Chain A
Amino acid sequence: MDSSPAISAPESPPPFAMIYDDHVKFVWRVLGRLGVARADLEDVCQEVFIVVHRRLAEFEGRSSLRTWIYGIALRCAADYRRRDARRRPASSAVPEIAIEGSQLEDLDARDARATLDRLLELLDPDKREVFVLFELEELAMAEVVALVGCPLQTGYSRLHAARDIVAAAAARMRAKERRS
């Protein structure tokens, strides 16, 4: 009975476990940046990996594994937003942005994240994706547009539009700080 039945993988070495370990944090982070609520991150993250698992055989290495996973995460986040929007009517009001005391430059990591989240909330999904992938995930614009599925020029204009929105909101925030 000690001949443990080889519970080995199906056929090819199953890199899935490794992929999961290497990417789970990153997928989690990206989903959050793309607007998945904290409470739903676990569900959506799981969805991403179910798809990764299933499609792994189709991955042909035309892009990096990470980029490929970005694509899946993007798709799942979009599905999520659809679902979420149905569940809860869009909060039409622009979220009030205010941060306590400190200057934008001096926020600690946590506050920075929270502030950034609020800024991202101002962007519509198209712009948000581009902004997140380019500014935060630091992908090359060519990669971004491939993932998002738009022409390069559109990618740039979304980026600029997003930047304008974010910069304006940040400026308002600063003005507020100064006043207070």
Chain B
Amino acid sequence: MSKVEDVVRWSADPDAPVGMRELLRAANAAEDGPSAAQIATMRGHVTAGLAPKAALLSIRAVIISVLVVGGVAAIIGYALSRSDQPEASMPIARLEPAPLAPIASPPPAPSPALTESPPSAPSTPPPVLAHAPKLATPPARGPVTPPKPAVRAAPPELETPPAPPVVVPPPAPPPPAISEVTLLEQARVALRGGNAARALELADQHAAVYPDGALAEEREALAIEALAKLGRHDEAAAKWTKFASSYPHSNYRARLQRLIEIPR
């Protein structure tokens, strides 16, 4: 019934509740942004993780170079993850109960596309595997450190509540609630490192936790690539068909299409 209201903002309304006008104005004046260092770091991560063109040509080179380091890390990671299994200090499981409806409506666009194009390896400091933090260094050094001792697969970034051992499929040594970015970054690194199976695992994990996540497009592209690399062409093709219709304008189309059409 009320026609379009003409609501005056509190910050401009002399009749706003006492103090609110001042409070809002003062709060708005508080410049409390990211530090210059944070701005630079984020810029680095965003561009490093996404430069779309880099991947096309350099992917092979990257794979090769990453293989050396990544391969070692992957092996160690695998060994570690196995040793962790028994204690399973933290059951990641129950991450995906009810996917809540996103509260905010996303932008109109169709939807995300995959960031599959990992630029060149250098700048990305990404965690290698779930256990990345600790693994990252040892492998690079090579022979020196026997990395297994200390590692107890402590959750890398956050403390997980001592949740009761939940029900989850055993496949991945699931890291606790990690951010979308981190999860996919790990998947990407695994893929670049030649560990397509691991990449796929992580992509599946992402799909379980963030079915409609902001990076769903990245995830799908990555999964397609991983499937193709694993020689699971039928699955890759099926996923690709779905991807192509879901993300008609995806930046990854050309690249994925190539993968699908020229299975190796």
Contact pattern, A 37-78, Cβ under 8 Å of B = 1, otherwise 0: 000111111111111011101110010000010011011111
Q: Which residues of A contact B24 (CB under 8 A)?
A: 116, 135-136
Q: Does A24 contact B (CB under 8 A)?
A: yes
Interface residues on A, range: 35 or more
**Contact call B179/A87, Cβ cutoff below 8 A:** no
| Pair A148/B105 contact, Cβ less than 8 Å | yes
- Known: A58-B109, A75-B107. Contact between A104 and B22, CB under 8 A? yes
Q: Which residues 81-120 of B sit at the A interface, judged by CB distance below 8 A?
A: 94-95, 97, 100, 102-110, 112-113, 115
CB closest residue in chain A, given B159: A87
- Residues in A whose Cβ lies below 8 Å from that of B26: 107-109, 111-113
B201 CB within 8 Å of chain A: no
A55 and B34 contact, Cβ closer than 8 Å, known pairs A109-B27, A136-B28? no
Chain A binding surface SS class: helix
Interface residues on B, range: 35 or more
- B46 & A134 in contact (Cβ 8 Å cutoff): no
With an 8 A cutoff between CB atoms, is A83 at the interface?
A: yes
User: Closest residue to A42 on the B side, CB-wise?
Assistant: B38
* Known pairs A129-B104, A170-B23, A171-B17; A87 contacts B177 (CB<8 A): yes
Q: Known: A87-B158, A113-B30, A136-B27. Is A75-B19 also a contact (CB below 8 A)?
A: no
B10 touches A135 (CB 8 A): yes
Q: Find residues 1-60 in chain A having any chain B CB closer than 8 Å to their own CB.
A: 10, 16-17, 20, 24-25, 28-29, 32, 40-51, 53-55, 57-59
Determine whether the beta carbon of B104 is less than 8 Å from that of A147.
Answer: yes
Chain A residue at smallest Cβ distance from B12: A138
Is residue B214 contacting chain A, with contact meaning CB distance below 8 A? Answer: yes
18 CB-based A-B contacts, threshold 8 Å: A20-B46, A45-B34, A53-B47, A54-B50, A54-B113, A55-B109, A57-B251, A58-B109, A78-B102, A78-B103, A106-B22, A107-B23, A109-B27, A110-B32, A112-B27, A112-B29, A125-B103, A167-B20
